[in-house]
Chain A
Amino acid sequence: MVASIVSTGLAIGCIYALIGITYNVMFSASRVFSFTAGTLGMLGGVLGSLFIARLGLPVAIGFLLALAGGVVLGIVTEIVAVRPVLKSLDQHLYVLSTLALALMVQQFTAIEWGTEARPFPRLFDIARGGFDQQFWLPMLACAGVIVGLELLYRHTLIGRAFLAIAEDTYAARALGLPERRLRMVSYALAGAIGALAGFAGGEMLLAFFGNGPMLTFYGFVPVALGGMGNNRGAVVAGLLLGLFQQTANFLVGGIFASVAVFTVFIIVLLARPEGLAGAALQRRV
């Protein structure tokens, strides 16, 4: 029992963490939280199932196409929902524009793909074991993304440019960094990460259009608790969230597990609105 709670909890936690990182990558480039983060995860699962199970493409090609779908949605998010409202960041119009885009994608999926959850194909043809691929795939994906992002941010020029933009957009622009193009690339990258989350977790979450809002919410919890833009915080908080949810599921049952997660989330946020690891102070007058 404990082994099952831990493996399921960690796997789900990794998916939440990946969605959290999706939020963060977009946020770092634009100071915008986008409702499309969870939609990307949903899309990864649906596209994976579409390409591999329904169209019968090889796993590797289906995987790349699913990521490409995420990249496209990431770029569309930037062009349609973020760039036009960036000037008026004060009015928080981005909340509404990204929500609108997320709903459009979700509704389109519901109509074209259907509203019932469909199975996601098994990616590797190996027998089901105690520690199955549905558990270790999300963990592998999460570890890969974290290591990849660390390498990118620390050891490449473009990664340092990302950091510069995240730190101080105006200063970065004054230094001559192509802010707009970097933002685009960030959104494309975020799109790929979000789709990867849904793809790797496909077997657990299934290919279901309704996963969008669920992932949008549970994926934001690690961001809020781990601190905005803090990827390591998101991973730690995501894993804790997954474990907590599965434990509560086991102890008090499905109904109250989600209530428990929600309650803890609200209480922590109210106690520390800037996250467990963050600090914020702004001049208002």
Chain B
Amino acid sequence: MDMPMAQVRPGRADTLGAKTGTLGVALPFLALLVLGIAFPLFGGGYWGVIATRACVYWVLVSGLNLVVGFAGQIAIGWVALLTLGAYTTSVLVAGTVTPELSPYLALAIAAVVGAIFGLIVGLPALRLRTFYFAITTLGFATIVTQVALAWQSVTGGGVGVAGPIFPKPFDSQWGFYYFCFGLAAFCTWMTANIAASRFGRALTAIRDAEVAAEACGIAKPALLGAVFLFSGAVAAIAGGLFASLQSYITPDAFTLDLSVLFFIAILIGGRSSILGPLLGTILLTVLPEFAAPLVAWSTFLYAVLLLVIVLAMPGGIAELLDYKNRRPLESGRAIVPRPELLGRLLDAPATAGAGALTLEQVALAFGGVHAIDGLDLEIRSGQIHGLIGPNGSGKTTTLNVISGYYAQQSGTVRLNGAALPVLERHRRAHMRIARTFQTPRIVGSASVLQNVMIGGTIDGQCTFIESLLSLPRHRRDEVLLRDTAMLALAAVGLERLAPVRADRLQHSELRFTEIARALMLRPAFLLLDEPAAGLSAEEISRLGALVVAIARAGTGVLLVEHHADLIFDICHHVTVLNLGKNLAAGTPAEIRSHREVVNAYLGG
């Protein structure tokens, strides 16, 4: 985790504060690392097995955590991948089907098999929602066990197969413990890198604000695909280790209870956290050992725990540990934008000055209702185009057609003369078209800074693997995104709130956060959907000045609003909609005196 040191821009205090914060974040991990390395000094034989088991489980849970805790996909059947890894490794090492392989090679092959199956099990998540996805993973788990039981020639059926034994120095109890512990520590480091990267933030955006994620250009299939590959690979590696730890495996060893343990460890730990699920895994592995009579009831207790967490503390351990966000925020804080910073932020919009976003005869009907009906509109670079009209006149629908959420039934939307592809919403960000939403779409559990950094996701250069291993390009990306996001926050007047959890903000602050996020794209065109709704009169005037400055920096702005005063104050051009049609178009002065507009909308 790297903080900008030399070229600190506005918000110096916060970035430096974050530096000391990093140490605080790393401290619990370092403590666990020391504890883990020193463990053989005070743990006896049986506790060594428990500790090794906790490490093996964590190797799997660390990957699953990205799927469940970060991406929010309810994958309850992950034990299937453990089973797959365990059998692949054991069978390859035993050499019943193939020539005998070295345990390391077998483990590597198991990882590849696990990655492939992780992808196969995971991909339905792209189309299926929650319960459907949960059921498919459950079905997969049921089937893998059935196959393991029935495919006797390979798996030994109910009799089972011997687990692999790793060669020296990993053949002793503590040797094997250190092997597993090393892998667990490595997985912790890798997933923490992902969590702190644009990929981790994008995953939480998909979970909590999917629509906003699309508008920021986040391609869900590629991202989830990478996560499922990784998660499947480490789960299968955990399987190989598990088989070695058990020394003999049968299908009975892989019950759904185990899946539930993994899943619940993450939920107890809390979402978007690495430390929480890590502690959860240790807790659930160790807990039954302290209460020997309870071993039979452990799964029952896990289930009770799950219910209690869902009903009583959805935030999990991570929220309990997050003491910083329980400090009260200062009251009566004001949002004071600094539009003069926009010049640096929006230094080079893709189309300097001459571009235009045009709608030609665009029409869209829902059933018999003509939401928009032959609409013409031109938004020019560097100008503010106001779009007003009564409720239901088609303003938001127009915005949704431009940003690709709806497909128009006829007509064309053009960007600098070229027709925009219909519906491909995540490509809008690459064309530097940014938007905000009527109800702010924010990742509540992430900090304001992280939320704004989500807006710059597509400007990152590094690949998923580079982020996993924290290679230089990943660190460069993070520094750049963090700097730009701090600048954007300073420009909209929120830099003091950068480290605060976004769900603690006031409504008006969320609106400005969304604008900061949109500015991260250095937009050529910015679509604002009722940005002044819910703002005080003073905030509205500051918003107006900010939007004017954004346009002056070369961005074309489409402003959908009900506040007629704001529209007439700052717009260069105004279009009035009524029942999906152009009622009038012209300069603010022309519109204000337009008889029909006054009658239909403004009131006389």
Contact = CB atoms under 8 A, between A and B. Distances in A.
Interface of A: 33, 80-81, 84-85, 91-93, 95-97, 99-101, 103-104, 107-108, 111, 213-214, 216-217, 220, 224, 253-255, 258-259, 262, 265-266, 269-270, 273, 284-285
B143 A107 contact: no
Contacts of A224: 132, 135
B584 interface: no
A265 B140 CA distance: 11
B32 interface: no
Contact of A255 (B151, B260, B303, B400): B151
Contacts of B257: 107
Contacts of B124: 266, 269-270
Contacts of A101: 303, 307
B256 A213 contact: yes
B150 interface: yes
Given A107-B299, A284-B405, A100 B147 contact: no
Interface string B393-417: 0001000100001000000000000
A27 to B, nearest CB: 10
Interface string B291-335: 000001101101110110011001000000000000000000000
B28 interface: no
Contacts of B150: 253-255
B119 to A, nearest CB: 13
Nearest to A267: B124
A104 B74 contact: no
23 contacts: A80-B307, A92-B130, A99-B76, A100-B310, A104-B303, A107-B303, A111-B297, A217-B138, A220-B135, A254-B146, A258-B147, A259-B143, A262-B140, A265-B136, A265-B139, A266-B136, A269-B136, A270-B127, A270-B128, A273-B129, A285-B396, A285-B400, A285-B405
A118 B150 CA distance: 21
B306 A100 contact: yes
Given A107-B300, A285-B396, 18 more contacts: A80-B307, A81-B307, A95-B74, A99-B76, A100-B304, A101-B303, A101-B307, A107-B257, A217-B142, A224-B135, A253-B150, A254-B150, A255-B146, A255-B150, A255-B151, A269-B124, A273-B128, A285-B405
Contact of B303 (A92, A100, A265): A100
Given A255-B150, A269-B124, A217 B139 contact: yes
Interface string B173-201: 00000000000000000000000000000
Interface centre among A107, A111, A253, A258 (most CB of B within 10 A): A107
A269 B132 CA distance: 9
Contact of A111 (B300, B303, B400): B300
A93 B74 contact: no
Interface centre among B74, B139, B267, B297 (most CB of A within 10 A): B139
Chain B: number of interface residues, binned into ranges: 35 or more
User: Would you call the interface of chain A mostly helix, strand, loop, or mixed?
Assistant: helix
Nearest to B123: A270
Interface in B100-154: 124, 127-132, 134-136, 138-143, 146-147, 150-151
Contact of A214 (B130, B134, B142, B299): B142
Given A255-B150, A259-B147, A103 B74 contact: no
A85 B135 contact: no
Given A269-B128, A285-B400, A93 B310 contact: yes
Q: Which 7 A-B pairs have the closest CB atoms?
A: A103-B303, A100-B307, A100-B306, A107-B300, A255-B150, A92-B130, A217-B139
Contacts of A96: 74, 267, 306, 310
Contacts of A92: 74, 129-131
A285 B300 CA distance: 41
A285 B437 contact: yes
A262 B302 CA distance: 28
B377 interface: no
B300 A108 contact: yes
B226 interface: no
Interface centre among A81, A103, A253 (most CB of B within 10 A): A103
Interface centre among B74, B147, B300 (most CB of A within 10 A): B300
B211 interface: yes
A115 B571 CA distance: 73
Contacts of B304: 100, 104
B303 A258 contact: no
A102 to B, nearest CB: 8
Contacts of B405: 284-285
Nearest to B121: A266
A216 B77 CA distance: 13
A108 B256 CA distance: 15
A284 B150 CA distance: 45
Nearest to B210: A284
Nearest to B296: A111
Interface string B434-467: 0001000000000000000000000000000000
Nearest to A38: B138
Contact of A97 (B130, B141, B142, B307): B307
A284 B211 contact: yes
B127 A273 contact: yes
Contacts of A270: 124, 127-128
Nearest to A212: B256
A258 B139 CA distance: 9
A79 B299 CA distance: 22
A33 B311 contact: no
Contacts of B303: 100-101, 103-104, 107
Contacts of B132: 224, 269, 273
Nearest to A91: B314
B306 A103 contact: yes
A96 B309 CA distance: 10
A79 to B, nearest CB: 12
Nearest to B396: A285
A80 B260 CA distance: 19
Contact of B307 (A104, A266, A273): A104
Interface in B52-91: 74, 76
A262 B139 contact: yes
A258 B310 contact: no
B294 to A, nearest CB: 11
A167 B348 CA distance: 53
Contacts of B306: 96, 99-100, 103
Contacts of B267: 96
Contacts of A99: 76, 134, 306
Contacts of A95: 74, 130-131, 134
Interface string B255-278: 011001000000100000000000
Contacts of A100: 303-304, 306-307, 310
B143 A103 contact: no
